[in-house]
Structure 1
Amino acid sequence: MLTRQSFAPLIDLLYPPRCPACGAGIAAQDGLCALCWGELAIPGEPACARCQRPFASDSLGEGAICAPCLASPPRHDGIAAATLYNDASRRLVLGFKHGRRIGMAAMLARLIAARLPILEGEWLVVPVPLHRWRLWQRGYNQSALLAREIARIRGQRVLVDGLLRTKATPSLGGLGRKARARALSGAIIVRPGGAARLQGSKVILVDDVMTSGATSAACVSALKRAGAEKVLVACFARVLDEAL
C-alpha cells in the first residue's frame, strides 16, 4: 500500500527540503535547521501551577502561583505552550498564518502536543474560531489545522465547529484589559445546538499564538458556560516578554 513515505523521495527531488524559518537546506520536509531549532525558546520550570508562566527564580517551590493568577484567578485549567514568542517563533507563525504554508501544521502541532500533560480519558480538541469574513479572506483557520493534528497525535476527537465567532473584533494589541473585554463581549459563543456535546467534557482549546490571553479567556468562558468540566489551553507561541 502506498503511503506518504512512499512518495517522500520524489517530493524531496521536486521540492528540496528547506527550513521554513530561514530557508536553509535540511534533511526532511517537516523540520527546522539546527540553528533555528536552537533559537526557539521553550518554556521551562519552575512555573506557575495555574498558568505555567515560567518563574525567573529557582527558589519558588512546587505549587507556587504567579502574581497575575493571584490577582485574577483564571478560569482555564492550565496552559501548554510549545514556545515563547520570539523572533524564531514569530517567523514560523507568520509563514503558517499569513504565508499560506499550511504544511507546517503537522510540525507545529507536534511541538504543542509534546508540551501537553498526560491526558486521561476522552478529550475534545477545539480550535479558537475565526470570524467568517476573516476565514473567507485567509481561506483557512490556522487553529483548526493545528487542532486536527493534535487530535490525531494524541488520539482524541476534534470538534472543529465547537465555537463560533459571532462578530469581527479589532486587533487587541495596545488595548487595556477592560477595552479587550469590551471588544470580545459576546463575540465568541458555543455553536447553537452544540452545548450537549460539551456537557461534562474535557477540552483542549487550541490557538496559534496567545498574546494577552483575552481571546482564550472568552473561549474558556463560553465552553464552561456550556458545561465543559475542564479546559486546557494549548498554543504554539505564548507572548511572555518577561520570561525571555
Structure 2
Amino acid sequence: MGLQAALRLIYPPQCVACGEAVASDFGLCGPCWRDTGFITGSLCDLCGVPLPGDGDVAQCDDCLSIGRPWDQGRAVFLYRETGRKLVLGLKHADRIDLARPAGDWLYRAAGPILGAGMLVAPVPLHWRRLFTRRYNQSALIAARVAKLAGLAHVPDLLQRIRPTGTQEGRNRAERFGNLSGAIRVHRARVNRMKGAHVLLVDDVMTSGATLAACAEACLAAGAARVSVSVLARVAKDA
C-alpha cells in the first residue's frame, strides 16, 4: 500500500480523454464526462440510440424501417465530441488503455440485455487490417465485458474473409452491399454456435451493416439469438 500511495503521488490518475487530474484511474474529468454524450433515459431497444421520452424502451425509425437481424442492442454514447475522440484514440492512436474504461461502460450499458451462458464475440477485422493495426479494438472491449459479466469470450468466433475497406463515404445501400458475404463463423467454432445466444461487440454503429452481416452469419450457423452492443452510436443529429 505504501508503494501504491507513492506511485499515485508521482503519477496521479488522469482523465483518459484530456489528461486532467481525476479521483481514480481510467476515469473522466467532469467536463469530459459532460461532453461524452452518454446515452441515458429512453432509447431504442435494437440499436441503443436515444429517443424522446422518460425512460421508455421502443424502436427508432431506422430500426423500424430496416429490420434488424438481432434481438436487442445497446450503445454507450453518441459518436460526437469527446465520445468520438475516445473511439478514434482507441481505434487509430494505439490507446489500448481505453479498452478498460470502454469495456466497463459497455458492461453497464448492456446490463439489461446480458444473460447467462451468452457467448461474447467481437466484430472481426480482416487479417490484413489486423496485421496493420496489431490489435482488434472491438476484441479488447469484448474481453473486458465478458470478464465483468462472467461470460465466455470467443474472439475468433467470426472471421472477415475478404477485405471490405472503409465504410466512410458510402451510402446505406453501399454499406450493406460492401459487407455481403464478407463474414462467416470460424469453422472450428461452429459447434459452439448451435443454440447459442451471442453478444456481438463493436466500437461504432452507423448504418448497422457490419453488425447485420455478423448477426446473419451467427444465425445461419445455428445461433438461437443474437444481441449487439457498441461503444458509440452515430445518430442523425450527432
> 2-side partners of 1:200 and 1:6: how far apart?
51
**Alpha-carbon distance, 1:54 to partner:** 2.4
79-88 vs 10-19, greater mean Cα deviation: 10-19
Q: Does 1:114 align with 2:92?
A: no
1:111 Cα offset (Å): 0.5
Quote the residue 1:33 is aligned against: 29
Contact 2:36-2:77 at 8 Å conserved across structures: yes
- Matching residue's letter, 1:81: A
Distance (whole Å) between structure 2 residues aligned to residue 219 and residue 163 of structure 1: 7
Aligned length, in residue pairs: 237
* 1:159 equivalent in structure 2: 154
Report the counterpart of residue 210 of structure 1 in structure 2.
205
Structure 2 CA distance, aligned partners of 1:77 and 1:8?
45
Task: Name the counterpart of 1:46.
Answer: 42
Deviates more, 1:220-229 or 1:118-127: 118-127
Which blocks of at least 5 consecutive residues in structure 1 are unaligned?
none
What residue in structure 1 maps to residue 89 of structure 2? 95
Say yes or no: does 1:74 pair with 2:68.
Answer: yes
The reply to whether residue 86 of structure 1 matches residue 77 of structure 2 is no
Structure 2 counterpart SS, 1:143: helix
The separation in 1 between residues aligned to 2:134 and 2:7, in whole angstroms, is 25
Judge conservation of contact 2:90–2:137 (CA < 8 Å) in 1.
yes
Query: Aligned letter for 1:66?
Result: C
Q: What are the Cα deviations for residues 50-95 of structure 1, in whole angstroms up to 9, with x where unaligned? A: 4343223x39x95643322232221111111011111111111122
> Residue 45 of structure 2 contacts residue 73 of structure 2 at CA under 8 Å; is this kept in 1?
no
Name 1:176's counterpart in structure 2: 171
Are residues 1:147 and 2:142 paired? yes
Name which of structure 1's ranges 140-149 and 22-31 shifts more when overlaid on structure 2: 22-31
Contact 1:20 1:95 in 2 (8 A): no
CA distance, structure 1, for counterparts of residue 113 and residue 211 of structure 2: 21
Letter in 2 for 1:20: V
| CA distance 1:197–1:7, change in 2 (3 Å) | farther
Question: Partners of 2:157 and 2:88 in 1: how far apart?
Answer: 25
Change (3 A) 1:64 1:85: same
Contact 1:41 1:83 in 2 (8 A): yes
More displaced 10-residue stretch of structure 1: 139-148 or 94-103: 94-103
Deviation string 1:169-215 (CA, Å, 9 cap, x unpaired) is: 12112212222222112111111132110110011100111122111
Q: Secondary structure at the match of 1:28?
A: coil
In structure 2, runs of 5+ residues without a counterpart are none
Farther-moved stretch of structure 1 (201-210 vs 11-20): 11-20
Q: Report Cα offsets for 1:156-175 as digits up to 9, x if no partner.
A: 01001000011111211221
**Alignment check: 8 A CA contact 1:207 1:236 kept:** yes
CA shift at 1:127, angstroms?
Answer: 0.4
Change (3 A) 1:63 1:20: closer
The answer as to whether partners of 2:73 and 2:113 remain within 8 angstroms in 1 is no
The 2-side partners of 1:39 and 1:157 are apart by: 33
Q: Secondary structure at the match of 1:81?
A: strand
C-alpha displacement at 1:17, in angstroms? 2.3
Using the size of structure 1 for normalisation, the TM-score is 0.88
